[in-house]
Structure 1
Amino acid sequence: MSAVSGYLIAALLKLASVTPASYQQPAFLHNHATAVVSLYQTLSQYSDSKTAASEVIQQVNNLVASGLELKLADMVVISMAMQSAINHQPEQVEQIYLSIKSRYKHSRTLRNYFFSCTLSGRQKLRSTIKALRYSLSMSGEFEKELSFIGHTSDDEELMSLTNARYGEISYESVYQAFLYRALTSKPLKHPNTVALLLRNLALAHNQIGSKHIERRLIVLIRELETENVIPHLTNGPSVYSYLTP
């Protein structure tokens, strides 16, 4: 087993909580390619066996070979497929990972979308922040500020917004307000993408032990859904349940 395979096993196993449990075409795949929806359906009926893993790998390979320009939602499903098959087909999963990584080596946006779905922990966090930046067409300053934000800032407007919306000034509330302002300052070009990236961001914080930030992000997702800034992707109480319809 190569070093990449070993790392992927460790990373993908951390995504176990987002495996689909039963099939119902989820909102985040609305108007997506039939092959992606079919792969999701296969995953929803997945049995943990080498035969099932081989079927999933074949579907992913066919999907990638089709030349379809992958969107973030497609990558979410592919990462779930990789997670499902990693124990039985580690070498094939590695090849898929390397193939997609190479395919988008010249597209920083799509590359970071893919990393946001497949990596874990701090690498997932960094890739997701980059992906948000590119999705929002923000400057590098957005990425820098979000990565190093604190409960004190020279940004008086941000401090005022934080206090007005959340009634306190803390690291967590400033983080939430910073994202709220960034996402509501103008209409989003890709609201579905942002909705998925916010979930990846929350999951990344969960993985590094930042549970307070994860909870703030969950509240932010619900705020933005209520205000019709991003679409509702879940039917259940969990923001992650878009993967368990």
Structure 2
Amino acid sequence: MASALAFVAVLLAAAAAATSPAAVAATTLTIQNLCPHPVWPLVTPTSGQPISDNTARLDPNSLISLAFPPTPWSGRVAARTGCDAAASPPAGCETGASPPSTVAQLSVHGGGDVATYSVSLVDGFNVPVVVSPQAVGGGQCPALGCVVDLNCDCPLGQRFSDGAACRGPPEYFKGRCPQTRTTPGDVEPVPQSCRSPGELKVIFCPPTMLTAAAAAAASDMLIRTVVASS
């Protein structure tokens, strides 16, 4: 009888293990400011719990790291600029608190622990942004985004806040930053299937987009394109 009960217990434990959620890799959101001015990151969840109180100020060449929950999470990251430095939470921001603004769209811990990400200019542009996955578990994980200051040549009728942001049009954005999404149905012309990244790095005002080979010899201040073995 004892051996039969032990056998049943083993079967129940195996069944519980089979039906329990698969473990996911811990993933960190790192936000780095390489702009020559302060920014106030705005992290807004669209699915899942808030991961930031959105009060942090990032001075030039500084960064902040936030932990994603171990459950599915998606949201948006934008850079607020020209905020009242004495206010907490940030107030009176010149750009980024509302459109037009550049938006990094992130989603982690999807099926198969896949992360998806993009840089959207659908709502306009305020600062260059790139998303770069790090410490990936497999798949194709290209750096995506825009390193061009689109405010410089923004069409006159599309300029916002004395030239601190640009409303478009989409063809102006896409022609200069093809690795972004400029309309609701737009996608980047590169494959993406990124599994279990240890970090998603959102970089404001990145200096360049590098290949993996070039990045290996470059400063840590530069972003990388990572293609992991399957």
Determine which structure has the larger helix proportion and give its number. Answer: 1
Relative to the length of structure 2, the TM-score reads: 0.29
Name the larger-Rg structure.
2
